[in-house]
Structure 1
Amino acid sequence: MVDVAQVVNLSEAGADAEKWPAVPRLENGWYPTGGEVDPAVNSGLMNWQARQLALRSETLRARVDDLALKAGSTVTVGNSGDFSTVNEALSYLSERRPGYVQGGFQTQILLLDGFTMAEQILVSGVNLGWISIVAEAAEVFIDRAYMNVPFHEGAAPIYPSFGVKDGGTLPRIDALFTMMDTGPTAGRMGINAFSGGFATVGGMCGIKNCGDTAVLLTTSASFAGNGSVFSGAGGDGASVAGGTQSTFQGADLSGAGDTGLRVSNGAVSHAWGLDASGAGQKGVHVYRGATLNLLGGKCRKGGSDSTQDIVCESGSIINATNATGGTSIAVNTVTPNGIIFK
């Protein structure tokens, strides 16, 4: 008979070794018996290792099934929540894999009342679009003093609240944030997407009072922000360039310190009904072969029309039909700077 308590198991490395069913080391002198595994009576010793490996397969299958999501769920962030930070919640959820369900489903991160975002959400090459960030409060504060991790090193470093690059997708932003007047303003942006990154912001959601530009898109990034709110930015309300595609239909980019909406370098933007009024420098500025659909947009810097409300330069196209605001060039006329339809 085998003294089970004295059996030596095959040695394994790793912190998870004890979580798996142990595999015994076969010893010289044991009888090569088959049948049901019962080492104490010398039964099934030839099947002992195989049974343990089968148990491991069952354990692994159970773990994989636990990671597969087939229905929406909600995790909470904040005092008394499931997690204390959004990053912790995303780390937990990103280990799961959403399965296909007809009609789809959405997993939510619920920001509890009183939560202040003192962190940055920076995504690279990972699809988190099946996750939505929502909030109990009408507005959630972002503490700008904690935005100190550079995400994009260009002419000047960029420190966004939400950053995405290299084909990644941010979690959907379905909450309205307001950036606090703490810490530096330079480079402190709401959303920065580049190198194929993608972001979606729901209606009446977004980030107000950004220290610098609220939305910066470059290098083939994509952005869906119909009805979004990015008012009161210290820089541009939004700046989209480098072949990017974006939608700001009905969005609020008003009160920008520089330009309400800047579209450049071959970018294409759809901004029907955009509010880019009250900007410090220009309402909208489209240049270097870019295209903007500004149908019905509000672009006046002040109380009356000016040539800096709707600016078209270097071979660009603007559809400003029914838009309010003056223009930098004669309308409905092809010029070296492009054309504004109005």
Structure 2
Amino acid sequence: MQMRCYCVTHHGQPLELVQREAPQPTGTEVLVRVKAAGLCHSDLHIWEGYNDLGGGKKLSLADRGIKLPLTMSHEICGEVVSAGPEAGDVKAGTMAVVHPWIGCGQCVACLRGEENICTKPQSLGVMRDGGFGDYVIVPHPRYLVDLGGLDPVKAAPLACAGVTTYSAIKKFGTRIHDEPVVIIGAGGLGMMAIEVLKALGAKGAIVVDVDAAKREAALKEGALAAIDARAPDAVEQVVKATGGGARAVLDLVGATPTVRLALDACTRGGHVVIVGLMGGDITLSLPIIPMRPLKIEGSYVGTLPELRELVALMREGKMQPSPVSSRPLGEINAALEALARGLVVGRQVLIP
């Protein structure tokens, strides 16, 4: 059985269409026919071949163990085709969203259910081939979360944009119910974060972004306010909108100016969670952290139980899909270019 896939064969070059034999599942593996695959901003970093560490330093993907050629996309919805002899009772035709953040299964992190921070990750679309093809191999059926009738195109972003923002927002604890969360970045993750906050019954979101169209889209999705990150008084606007300073800031960009804005806009006792990987560095006066006192935390994607919780929220009608636009898989290079140029509102989902 032949399949198509679009692969990164050279960093920074257009993805190449490759025809190959479809993989056959062995052991506990499951073969899934891809129905929808989301394009994430972190795919841009994989395509480019590095992460910006600031100060002229770069972390190459080769140093992270990522090898080419690679089929990207870690936001995958699909239909079960077949399974290996040790996969158990897996029904062909089942529609599921795939949890892509797969670990080694043996380290301390994996044994406590945090495969997403495994030191030897096997993540789909990053370490192993992902969803920009006709089929994908999923190592075990436990990584399949039944869609229960959800639209695969609208549900695919749950595997990254959804579970990433859900996991990050949970780190704020109960304060999301007392004061609005400041969200820096109104791209695919920002739009999803607004929906997650609404589903959790939070106070609301104040969105900060450089793009006027994205700020307008965030207001349409229900943001309480939208602030231009490049405004000279952006920090003052955030402080005023939060009634004296933010207690919860979700930085979905993760660049030097956004982290600085997040810290400057916090009140005493503020909590900043950084998700974005745009890169850079900051200089921070250490006494300020205990004196204010500030909590600065990183958050990396999410766990399998969190994805199950998130899908359940959408299946039960408690959470609405964030804005998505679909296009044929053959347009993947055009989709990458649009994302790189900042022209995308919400999430792009490719359909094989």
Give your verdict on TM over 0.5.
no
What TM-score, normalized by structure 1, do the two folds share? 0.26
**Bigger radius of gyration:** 1
Write 1 or 2 for the structure with the bigger share of helix.
2
